[in-house]
A = this chain, B = another copy of it.
Amino acid sequence: MGEITILGAGAMGSALATPLSRNGHRVRLWGTHLDDARLDALSSGAPHPGTGVRSPEGVSWFRDTELEAALDGTDAVIIAVSSPGVHDTAARAAARIGDIPIMLASKGFHRRADGTITLMPEAVREALGQPERRIVAIGGPCKADEVAAGRITSTLYASHDREEAVRAAALLATDDYRVEVSDDETGLEICAPLKNVYAIALGYADGLQQRTGQPWHNLKSALFARAVGEMSVLSELTGGRTETAFGLAGVGDLEVTGLSGRNKVFGSRLGTGETVPQARAAMDAAGLTVEGIAACGLGAEFADQAGASPNRVPLLHAIRRVLDDAGSDPHTEFSTALTP
């Protein structure tokens, strides 16, 4: 039992209070200024707008300006801010974090000031000025509202130092929030943002079904298998292992992302016949950020940086062309990417 600080009061940050609280920890939930309305809700006893779940017992709330207090004397930190905010939040927290164990729930690719791209734990290490820092990455099929509500979830915690992941798992694991452990931090971090990219193609098949009134399940499943294969290729090329893509972090997380969520919804709009600008405008109007769009460009660039020739990841490049080239046809692009 200890004090655990969660940085970021979005859906995932607030959701992790559920298993922590169930294990008897006291939780400090810190939000950026973007989280003010969420913290207002939670601290007044109302449900979190993103999960529909109230803060469990033993949670206290901290505002943007209270970062030092949120970290002071805490036993572990979970970073769960939105991915563009990870580097800055870690830099702000650096002096107080010191050698406190860090778990990282935020996912994405990070573009450095010099233009190169790296994975999220590396961004944290650079922001902290601790190049050898142990960090535990959190991945796997994990919708925040279901975690918050205590419905069964299996996640993967991965760290270059496997024992660090074992210790982190011990803090959070419950009967309903199951944690597998791995040393393949890189593989997990590759799969996490890429599944959002591939979910766009899966959504496309769902949209075709809406448009035609007929299932396109064979197409969706073929795209699914191709996506898993490409995640395994990219994992291996960037220093991770293929098997991570075949477990919770790849197959599992792609499954959950293809069942629902913004990336899938965006893709399904393309399947119904909307153009990319039309679909983007509709998502923007609904206030929904489609993470897979930014992750696609960054991911393809990261793949290039890692030396992945385009013919080893044809679906990733097909999605990039669909998003970037007004003249490309999704149907042709996606079906061509399936060529054996």
Contact = CB atoms under 8 A, between A and B. Distances in A.
Contact of A218 (B141, B217, B232): B141
A204 to B, nearest CB: 11
A217 B340 CA distance: 31
B335 A217 contact: no
B340 A181 contact: yes
- Copies of this chain: 2
A225 B340 contact: no
Contact of A217 (B141, B176, B220, B246): B141
B143 A218 contact: yes
Given A178-B340, A225-B141, A338-B178, A255 B220 contact: yes
A42 to B, nearest CB: 20
A219 interface: yes
Contacts of A338: 152, 154, 178
Interface residues of A, number: 48
Contact of A143 (B145, B217, B340): B217
Nearest to A247: B225
A179 B338 CA distance: 10
Interface of A: 140-143, 145-147, 149, 151-154, 175-176, 178-181, 214-222, 224-226, 228-229, 232, 245-248, 251-253, 255-256, 259-260, 335, 338-340
